[in-house]
Structure 1
């Protein structure tokens, strides 16, 4: 629990009551840096009393908007496993603030004493209000998608998986769309499309009866094994890149002979991560 993150989210406008409620629940589970959020979408739905579909859609929107990121860690839960998330505090800070501008009082009134030559007490002047009432739809730039837009987005998502799956085992687009909406709570469209392509390559040469239909593949979550493998591969790749970057930083700091093999991209990345300074890079002769 982090009171700092909770206070930050409490002072920001998320666009709807459901979005705010989910954001506050995530903030309650976060550390002071916004990381370490470990709770399944079923748990969020149960505690916020929102529908599971609303929770999944909102989490997906937060990921798309950059308010939330996946750390790549997996934790077990009652429904199999769940991802560990991190609230991006910088992105949350850029949302519209609910606090009044500096210099304005919450009461909406300014009390000005009159001059001594006219002792009539005080003059109460109402503060100038907004040209639009607070509940005017134009005050909220975040508009929920229309039903037609939502269906169109679902079709685009399904097309990506549909195209990657074995062509002779595609059926029931409506059922596939429904099962895909449930799967998107635990995996992204790109991950599912990559999993479908991996499954197609794995079953190439199988007899037709040994290959699962797409609707059952989604319904039974047979994509999970491929998605987990892709995430593990990505995490391993990230860890390897981090190890190489730290090694490069060590060479630069000690002015090792291996500095002549260091690329400008590695130097820039190490400086951005704060592993080395510009002066250290310049002294080692790797700053171009």
Structure 2
């Protein structure tokens, strides 16, 4: 069983409840790369409580569309059973079922709007005091501090504000360290590193966190920036691989073309992976 394949299939539209039910059953039998699915159509029909003809028709459609690939056969008492692999690239191109982000619902950053009460899901207790407790009221800034904040670069002010308030220390030194860091990273990367560290260390005791001046002095932001760049490179590589697959499907007029969008075709043409006449021959770019 692969949660990775099951989650990927669960987030995509397959055209009908029957097709979705069958692909989810197959995903439950797959390895992380989508391979190793060995179950007969009778087994699928028995476990999904669908008719044999329905299962056979859906499997044939999946094979024609490239969502399923037959990789071999295995002997059994009734002859043989086909071995299938779910093509993760093909599934990844299907329309997602996610609702658009309208800015409502739960907060993405997981920040609590008030003090915690009782046990929490992640096991991290809430604040000991309410926000208006005398010991938690922040001292207003002096006029000199206000002038300094107005004079500093807006991007550095955002980085400073993103660092957990209870760990900020020596503002002047921190601003200098930030300017030094900008020789290696962009302001957005530094801001993302601070936010990542804040999320990672939320709920840590005071003895296990880094104050802002030490965190910047030791260059602890580098680990988060490297991870950010690695993920970005992986996303770009995956997008490039997807465009190559789209171009191949369009050139061959593959059954998966019905899941390809005009925007994907246009992107493939911009990258030089597809000619306009090939796109037009497959029914795109009219």
TM bucket, shorter chain: 0.3 to 0.5
TM-score, reference length from structure 1: 0.46
TM-score, reference length from structure 2: 0.46
